[in-house]
Structure 1
Amino acid sequence: MIHFKAIGKVMGALLMLLALLMLPGVAFALYFESGDEKALLYAALASLSTGGILFFSFSKQDQNIRKREGYMIVSLSWLLMSIFGMLPFIFSGTITNFSDALFETVSGLTTTGASILNDIEATPKGVLFWRSMTQWIGGLGIIVLTVAIFPLLGIGGIELFVAESPGPTSDKLHPRIRETAKRLWFVYMGLTFFAGLLYYLGGMTFYDAVNHALTTLATGGFSTKNASMAYYTSPFIQYTAILFMFLAGTNFTVIYFGLTGKFTRVWKSDEFRAYATVIILLALLLTIPVYYYSGQELEKSFRDTLFQIISLITTTGYVTADYTGYHVGLTLLFFMMLFIGGSAGSTAGGIKFVRHLTFFKNSWLEFKRIVHPRAVVPLKINGDRVTGKIITHIMNFLLIYLMIFTFGSIVLALMGYDMLTSFGAVATCLGNVGPAIGKVGPMDNFAFFDPFTKVVLSFLMLLGRLELFTILVLFTPFFWRAN
């Protein structure tokens, strides 16, 4: 039996927290006199009152949150946060219809970065800050944040962390899940602070520096400028973005070990070595053709190439150049990067390096098993043996991911969109990237899609952010059967 009352209390606490996170935007609205402070206050009040009713109505309930409740809370919380998170857009008149507001909010919370706004710079400052804040909230997962503070509310969190944890495994920095969540968020907040400081020192205004710091560490890619990072021609700012996008796409436990001087454990990570190596090799491989086709200086070509590679692989989605304008072969290579993803345990979306690494290692070992059928050939990641259960889980994930991409592309094509746009929109939303190919390239947006398509793409963003199984398991009969 599923404990719906326990779920209701947790959902209430989440909404109250969401309301508090809307308030910083009020300060910017008042400072810039942008006139949207009431919209943010009304949205916060709606979230706070609804959350308060849910929380206090079920405050005496036994909080026995098991795995099934954990998956329901994570799935429903993202849906509920998306609904209440779009209220500032609607109340301020920035976005006037449901499908557009839902798309923009889901894109923020899932750190996809796809947008329907045609003139970002005309958006009121308070609401624009809230737009960036949605990505920061979703970056490491609001559930991990609440795991750290829920014990204060009398709510446990282990099942929530398991359901929310990005990637096939959850490295524990501390045996107590609350301490793990706290340390992850301290790293997250610390990196956000230093990114904002460097952006400010590089020439951004305080407002722009804060916004870009939030969306960089979230690997979200929302910008305060219509031209995204291409607006800032400063090499210092762009290399700062490169550095922090790379860090945000790294497993946060690896970053924690690096910050505490445990460098051996950093380099012991097979995923981190693969992640760094692939980025370096791609940058070296593609700089020369980009230099040839763009006609720019070599350093600028290298910077644009490295920037776009890291932006796409980490699913950040910032743009400094139109990679679809170089050559069709280069466009295809950049498109394929939408299917890579960052490291497990990072704020990046996508398939994740550890899954690719497991797949390729297992495929390579399969040749050895064919030659020596009686030999026991274990697959190891980070020196540890990977169980058959995990391998099966990863193979199933890759197959389902490909099936959803194919089916989603067919649906968009049947609705009248061209093939490249259909492929690009589904790939970028499912991978939580942002820019793609076709009519959703790095210099375009998603405003032209019809309302139904925007809802479909919003669902794909949620599927990708919660790594497929967290949502799909709710549609199986096994989930609803009583124990």
Structure 2
Amino acid sequence: MNIRLIVKNLGYVLIIEAASMLPSLFVSLLNRQDDFSSFLITILLLLVLGTAASRINVGYENLYTRDAFALVALSWLLMSAFGALPFFLSGAIPRFIDAFFECVSGFTTTGSTILNDIENLPKGLLFWRSFTHWIGGMGVLVLTLAVMPSTKAGSLHIMQAESPGPLPGKLVPKIGQTAKILYAIYLAMTLVLLLLLHIAGLPIYDAFIHAFGTAGTGGFSNMNESVGAYHNLAVEIIITVFMLMFGVNLSLYYQAIKGNPKAFLHNEEFLFYMGTVVISTVLIMCNTVGTVYQNFGEALRHASFQVSSIITTTGYATADFNLWPTFSKVILIILMFVGACAGSTGGAMKCIRILLLFRIAKREVVKIIHPRSIYSVKIGGKVVDEETQIGVLTYFFFYLVAIACSTLVVTLEGKDLVTSVTAVISAIGNVGPGLGLVGPMGNFSSFSLLSKIVLSLDMIVGRLEILPVLLIFSPSSWRRANI
């Protein structure tokens, strides 16, 4: 493993994180609150360590796949650890593990929190808390590639390790240029969302907070009751639409800009995603009208928002779905598994994998009925190779194993099964709220330090899709590569 090159690139990541804290430092200075010094100390520490690491002499600049995977996993761990310092140093979150949990939840766009009174936090910290969503939505290393691509060889491996979903590809020949295009689309959509939220009645600060949370599909709010605190139908509609938009593969927007808007209609994953949203919304609406809500309009309003929030793994709430009928809650749990599209800012399994699992299962049934038949698994009219199919099945297996092992640890606390299981599913799927004590009106503060560490790792494992994190714990990965 090329350790020197990994450390050098980690230095660039720390410099990027220092720069990312500057807007929060400015917000803190503007509001003259106590968190200013904590941001200043953290920024200086990041710059000193980042500059020192980035100046390391590297013998050769080949970044192998395992190097890229290790770089991505270590970057997320370091970003989260240093990102937690402003919360810890300011005293807003007295225990470092709690601050680490909050920051991991931010960068991984999970949106789970240990805070009981969000509205009393200094505005600079709340801004940083939500801005981590925006950074993490597209990826820490993708941002680094867009701003200062430092490795000629291995950039694609970095995107493969960090991009959510299978088969990430280049939009243009140069991977650095691809990163710039993706971030340009991401930024443009965020700015449009920000403007619309402000026009709809949100103060500019609140609009920034919720634009970051929606774009990154993270779900952190500066209000204790999340989006529901505003009681603003226009804001809810705007966030619902944009949550769904950010749950779509960003490359489809690039194709539309280049003159191919029909790409959406020809993309099977997009059609599966939208079909799942429509069906789930209708089912929940029918199940809650007359029992939870008095009319179809009110049921549609809350059902559409929560379905969009859960399938995109954003986690915003306008209603306490803990109070919904069991049928509706089961649908939400299923959506926690499904997730958004590959190449989006959403989490969980991804629609493309679910679609592939259905196609693989169908093939196996056909082979039983017609043993001599030749049946190929296809997506979008193209045959999916066996290696990709095995990769999807392997990921599905690891995903379930991670949920099972984490649940065993979390249940040691003695909390009810619904709370324990949905907390783990929510963490690995980067969803945010679960059910029971971790529902939309609850939080994760009552969990022990051990459970918070496990859930923090689950969030990183889920965001990086397991393999990069497993790799850094494998001794064979750290052996020196043959040059």
- TM-score normalized by structure 2? 0.96
1:385 to 365, 383, 386: 383
Query: In structure 1, the residue corresponding to 2:262 is in which secondary structure?
Result: helix
Query: Is this contact kept in 2: 1:247–1:255, CA < 8 A?
Result: no
Alignment-derived partner of residue 475 in structure 1: 473
1:302 to 279, 300, 303: 300
Q: Distance in 1 between matches of 2:5 and 2:80?
A: 21
Structure 1 residues 260 and 293: CA distance shift in structure 2, 3 A: farther
Query: Is this contact kept in 2: 1:283–1:306, CA < 8 A?
Result: yes
Alignment-derived partner of residue 149 in structure 1: 147
Is 1:241 paired with 2:239?
A: yes
Q: Distance in 2 between matches of 1:254 and 1:292?
A: 39
Query: Is this contact kept in 1: 2:75–2:140, CA < 8 A?
Result: no
Is 1:97 paired with 2:107?
A: no
**Which residue type is aligned with residue 150 of structure 1?**
M
**Which residue type is aligned with residue 6 of structure 1?**
L
Structure 1 residues 54 and 154: CA distance shift in structure 2, 3 A: farther
Measured after TM superposition, the shift of residue 236 of structure 1 is 0.8
**Which residue type is aligned with residue 270 of structure 2?**
F
1:121 to 80, 96, 119: 119
Q: Distance in 1 between matches of 2:434 and 2:33?
A: 32
Query: Is this contact kept in 1: 2:312–2:339, CA < 8 A?
Result: yes
Measured after TM superposition, the shift of residue 375 of structure 1 is 1.9
**Which residue type is aligned with residue 301 of structure 1?**
A
Between Structure 1 and Structure 2, how many residues are aligned?
Answer: 481
Query: Is this contact kept in 1: 2:4–2:57, CA < 8 A?
Result: no
Query: Is this contact kept in 2: 1:150–1:157, CA < 8 A?
Result: no
Structure 1 residues 154 and 338: CA distance shift in structure 2, 3 A: closer
Is 1:54 paired with 2:53?
A: yes
Alignment-derived partner of residue 64 in structure 1: 62
Is 1:40 paired with 2:39?
A: yes
Alignment-derived partner of residue 276 in structure 1: 274
Q: Which segment is superposed worse, 219-228 or 416-425?
A: 416-425
Q: Distance in 1 between matches of 2:461 and 2:102?
A: 16
Cα-to-partner distance string for 1:54-80 (whole Å, 9 max, x where unaligned): 112x14543221111101100000011
Q: Distance in 2 between matches of 1:377 and 1:171?
A: 26
Cα-to-partner distance string for 1:99-136 (whole Å, 9 max, x where unaligned): 10110010001000000111111100111101011111
Alignment-derived partner of residue 10 in structure 1: 9
2:452 to 451, 454, 460: 454
For residues 384-403 of structure 1, the aligned pairs below 5 Å read 384-403=382-401
Q: Distance in 2 between matches of 1:110 and 1:9?
A: 23
Alignment-derived partner of residue 175 in structure 2: 177
Query: Is this contact kept in 2: 1:171–1:253, CA < 8 A?
Result: no
Alignment-derived partner of residue 132 in structure 2: 134
Alignment-derived partner of residue 216 in structure 1: 214
2:420 to 406, 419, 422: 422
Query: In structure 1, the residue corresponding to 2:437 is in which secondary structure?
Result: helix
Measured after TM superposition, the shift of residue 473 of structure 1 is 2.7
Structure 1 residues 15 and 309: CA distance shift in structure 2, 3 A: same
Measured after TM superposition, the shift of residue 149 of structure 1 is 2.6
Structure 1 residues 152 and 5: CA distance shift in structure 2, 3 A: closer
* RMSD of aligned Cα (Å): 1.5
Q: Distance in 2 between matches of 1:390 and 1:450?
A: 39
Alignment-derived partner of residue 265 in structure 2: 267
**Which residue type is aligned with residue 202 of structure 1?**
A
Measured after TM superposition, the shift of residue 362 of structure 1 is 1.5
Alignment-derived partner of residue 331 in structure 1: 329
Identity of counterpart residues, as a percentage?
39
Q: Distance in 2 between matches of 1:150 and 1:59?
A: 17
Measured after TM superposition, the shift of residue 155 of structure 1 is 8.1
Cα-to-partner distance string for 1:295-319 (whole Å, 9 max, x where unaligned): 3332221010011001001000000
Structure 1 residues 209 and 61: CA distance shift in structure 2, 3 A: farther
Q: Distance in 2 between matches of 1:7 and 1:295?
A: 54
Query: Is this contact kept in 1: 2:110–2:313, CA < 8 A?
Result: yes
Unaligned stretches of 5+ in structure 1?
A: none
Query: Is this contact kept in 1: 2:269–2:341, CA < 8 A?
Result: yes
Alignment-derived partner of residue 159 in structure 1: 157
Cα-to-partner distance string for 1:169-224 (whole Å, 9 max, x where unaligned): 11321121111111110111011101111110000000010111111010000001
Q: Distance in 2 between matches of 1:384 and 1:65?
A: 31
Cα-to-partner distance string for 1:390-412 (whole Å, 9 max, x where unaligned): 11110111111112112211221
Query: Is this contact kept in 1: 2:61–2:151, CA < 8 A?
Result: no
Q: Distance in 2 between matches of 1:326 and 1:83?
A: 37
- TM-score normalized by structure 1? 0.96
Measured after TM superposition, the shift of residue 371 of structure 1 is 2.2
Q: Distance in 2 between matches of 1:408 and 1:54?
A: 34
Structure 1 residues 366 and 156: CA distance shift in structure 2, 3 A: closer
Q: Distance in 1 between matches of 2:460 and 2:205?
A: 29
Q: Distance in 2 between matches of 1:12 and 1:172?
A: 25
Q: Which segment is superposed worse, 76-85 or 159-168?
A: 159-168
Measured after TM superposition, the shift of residue 474 of structure 1 is 2.9
Measured after TM superposition, the shift of residue 154 of structure 1 is 7.4
Q: Distance in 1 between matches of 2:343 and 2:151?
A: 26
Q: Distance in 2 between matches of 1:346 and 1:176?
A: 20
Q: Distance in 2 between matches of 1:50 and 1:59?
A: 15
Is 1:285 paired with 2:303?
A: no
Cα-to-partner distance string for 1:450-472 (whole Å, 9 max, x where unaligned): 11110111011010000011211
Q: Distance in 2 between matches of 1:310 and 1:376?
A: 38
Query: In structure 1, the residue corresponding to 2:410 is in which secondary structure?
Result: helix
2:197 to 199, 205, 230: 199
**Which residue type is aligned with residue 247 of structure 2?**
G
Q: Distance in 1 between matches of 2:26 and 2:298?
A: 38
Structure 1 residues 269 and 437: CA distance shift in structure 2, 3 A: same
